[in-house]
Structure 1
Amino acid sequence: MKRLLPYLLLLLLPACATTPPGNVDNACSIFREKDGWYDDALAAQKAWGSPVPVMLAIMHQESRFVAQAKPPRTRILGIIPGFRPSNSYGYSQAIKSTWKAYERSTGHYGADRDDFGDSMDFIGWYNNESLHRSGIAKNDAYRLYLAYHEGHGGYNRGSYRDKGWLLRVATKVRDRAAQYTVQLNGCADSLPRGRGLFGWF
C-alpha cells in the first residue's frame, strides 16, 4: 500500500488543481490561491489588450471558474434529463465552432477549454474581435459581454435589445469588472509579477 500511495496522490492532483477558487468575488484572493493564474491573465492582457478585470468578470459569469462547466440539461416532463442546449464547455463556456475559429485565428491548436490560461486567452481574443467587428472598446465590459453572449452578428443586429434578463446580466458583469478593478489596483503589488502594473483601464 505504501508503494501505491505516491501514485494515488498523483491521480488526485488534477482533481485538486481544477477546483474553483474559494472566493470568486475577490480577484486578489483568486490570484493568490491559484498558482500561475495571474501570469496567464497578464499574458492574455498583453496579447489582446483586454483588461484582466474585464476578462475575469466574463469568466465569472460564464462558469464561476469551474473548469468543466457545461450548460444544464433540459428537463422532459420536468424530471427526465434531456439534451444540453449547446456544446459550450469549460471556463469560458465557448462553443466548439467558436473555439475552432479561435484556434485557426491564433494558431493555438490543442488549446483546451478546461484550461484557465487558454480560456483567458480565448476571452481576450474574442474581445479583440468585438472591437474590430462590432466597434466595442476593450474596457466596455457591458457591451463586450453582450457581444460575447449573442455573437457578433447578433450583437450587430441588436438581438439583445428585447432581452431584459440579458441586459441585467451584462450590468452584473460590468459591475463585477469594476469591483475586480478596485481590488486588483489595491493588491497588484503583492501578487506575482504584479509590481509596477497599474491602470487596468
Structure 2
Amino acid sequence: MRLAIKRLLLIILIGGGLAGCATSTTPPSKPHNLCSIFKEKPDWYKAAKKSQDKWGTPVQIMMAIMYQESSFKHDAQPPRPWFLFIPLPRRSSAYGYAQAQDPVWGEYLEEAGGWFANRENFADAIDFIGWYNHKSRKINGVSLWRADLLYLNYHDGWGGYRRGTWKSKDWLKRTARKVKWRASEYGEQLRRCNL
C-alpha cells in the first residue's frame, strides 16, 4: 500500500513538473503590455533586469527586440521553404526567443561563458540580446538607448551595419522604427508598473 502511494505521489510530482515546464514556454497572453508580461511571468522581469545590469541595455529595448524577432515564442524559427511537397532547408539557422543564428550564438557562448545556455530559455535569450547590444555599442558606437539602431545591428550584423547594408532596405528601416516605437511604449508601461 505504501509503495503504491509513493508511486502515485511521484507520478503527480513529475506530471506537475512537466506541466509547469509546458506552461512556462507559452508566449505571454498580452504581449503588447510589458507590465502584463512581467506580472504573468515574474521570472522574465528578473532575467531582463539582470541582463540590463550586466550589459547596459534598458529592459524595454531588449524586450522590444525579442518581440519583433520571435513574438516571445521559445522555439521560433524562420519558415521552411518547400519545393512541391518536399521540405527544403531553412534559409537561416535563427532559432529561439532571440532568433540567434548558430555562428553568433557560438560567439556568445565563448565570450559570455554560458556553455550550457539554450536559445529556448528566456533568461539565456535575453542575456544574449543584452550581450549583442553591448557589442554593437563597442564595435559600432551605437547608444544603448537607440532601439532602432540597435535593431539594425541585430538584423544585419555588425559588419552589415557598418557597411550600411540596411540603407537600401526600406522594409528593414520601417521595422527598426517599429521596434523603436514598441520600446518607447514598453518604457512608458514599465514606468507605471508596480513590480
TM-score (normalised: structure 1): 0.89
Q: In proportion to residue count, which structure has more helix? A: 2
Corresponding position of 2:82: 75
Corresponding position of 2:131: 125
Of 131, 146, 157, which aligns to 2:152? 146
Please list the CA deviations of residues 93-145 of structure 1 after superposition, one character each: whole Å capped at 9, or x if unmatched.
00111111011111121111111111111101100100011111001000100
1:174 aligns with 2:170: no
Provide the aligned C-alpha RMSD in A.
1.5
> Matches of residues 43-192 of structure 1 in structure 2 within 5 Å?
43-77=50-84, 80-187=86-193, 190-191=194-195
Q: 1:10 is matched by which residue type in structure 2? A: G
Runs of 4+ in 1 over 4 A off after TM superposition: none
SS state at 1:16 partner:
helix
CA drift at 1:5: 4.1
CA drift at 1:81: 3.0
Q: Distance in 1 between matches of 2:17 and 2:97?
A: 23
Q: Distance in 1 between matches of 2:113 and 2:13?
A: 37
Contiguous gaps of at least 5 residues in structure 1: 192-201
SS state at 1:161 partner:
helix
> Matches of residues 15-30 of structure 1 in structure 2 within 5 Å?
15-30=22-37
Equivalent residue pairs, number = 188
Q: Distance in 2 between matches of 1:172 and 1:21?
A: 20
Which piece of structure 1 moves more, 40-49 or 99-108?
A: 99-108
Rg comparison, structure with higher value: 2
Of 4, 11, 14, which aligns to 1:7? 14
Contiguous gaps of at least 5 residues in structure 2: none
Q: 2:129 is matched by which residue type in structure 1? A: I
CA drift at 1:11: 2.5
CA drift at 1:43: 0.4
CA drift at 1:12: 2.4
1:42 aligns with 2:22: no
Q: Distance in 1 between matches of 2:91 and 2:122?
A: 23
